[in-house]
Amino acid sequence: MNRTTYSGDAVADVVLRPESTSDPIKQKHRAVWASGDYAAVAREVIPALGRVLVDACDVRAGEQVLDVAAGSGNAAIPAALRGADVVASDLTPELLDVGRAEASRRGLELSWEQGDCEDLPYDDASFDVVMSSVGVMFAPHHQAAADELVRVARPGGRIALASWTPEGFVGRMFATMRPFVPAPPPGAQPPPLWGDPEHVTALLGDRVTDLAWQRRELPVDRFAGADEFVAFFKRHYGPTVMAFRGLADRPEQAAALERALLDLARGHHRGRPTPGWEYLLLTARRA
């Protein structure tokens, strides 16, 4: 595949790459994240997470930054607000459209480019910062995605990732949904593994230095209780939307999934005025 060299010239258009969506697995992933309204999740539930990531990798004015699996720009827009030249790359152009509109509203120029995080369309060593806010973790083939994160970072460049942990609320939500959704294709790995520091350390290997990680909790005060959380995620969060859509002709199973999610959320909210969602914050430099 021909790769492009990122020059730092920000453009406002979404660059579409048809080869990114020719793989049936990638088509399915795109459909999942195009369903519902993930931008509402990023805007209303986890808006602080992108800013945390930008702070962690110390984005500076004039640097060339790649936000991988950027969605609607939860991290890309805060990076651009610091004066960086930012490329927001995602498999789902519908999310990029939302991000582009929000960036325009703020008077910001970013490059919004459709791309597969397992086969990024950029030359080696193109970016000062490569980051992903609960995005690259959903790539089905973890090693391929990790290889790309390292490849496009310049020597000495920073890599920063925020990923939901297996033990945290979102990781447990995926475990709760697992019996109700089709089995993943052969070779696909569970997204919350990116929240396991040993797993990510092994993926990156000796190609990085100064690797550091910490588990943190993101305060989530959007929901008054479990019922509001489940209703919101049934409408807006792609994986949950698709799980219920797949059970449309099995109402008993759909009801069982809803009860299971309510039980999970009630247990997590119990006694906690502001429940936290645990994530792994990991930073490194390309060797």
Kindly state the DSSP code that residue 261 receives in the 8-state scheme: H
Topology given in CATH for the domain delimited by 14-221+276-286: Rossmann fold (3.40.50)
Instruction: Give per-residue pLDDT as tens, 24-74.
Output: 889 999 999 999 999 999 999 999 999 999 999 999 999 999 999 999 999
Q: How confident is the model at residue 15 (pLDDT cuts 50, 70, 90)?
A: very low
Residue 276, strand partner residues: 219
pLDDT score for 12: 39
* pTM, to two decimals: 0.91
3-state secondary structure of 138: helix
Predicted confidence at residue 22, as pLDDT, reads 66
Tell me how long the chain is: 287
Would you list the domain boundaries of the chain?
14-221+276-286
Task: Give me the mean pLDDT over the 219-240 stretch.
Answer: 96
Token digits of residue 240: 């949950």
Identify the bridge partners of residue 22 per DSSP, sorted by sequence position: none
Residue 258's alpha-carbon distances to 32, 164, 228, 265, in angstroms, are 19, 21, 12, 11
Assign 149 to helix, strand or coil: helix
* Helix axes of 226-236 and 251-269: crossing angle, nearest 10 degrees: 130
Helix (H, G, I), strand (E, B), or coil: what is residue 13?
coil
Give residue-wise pLDDT tens across range 256-270. 999 999 999 999 988
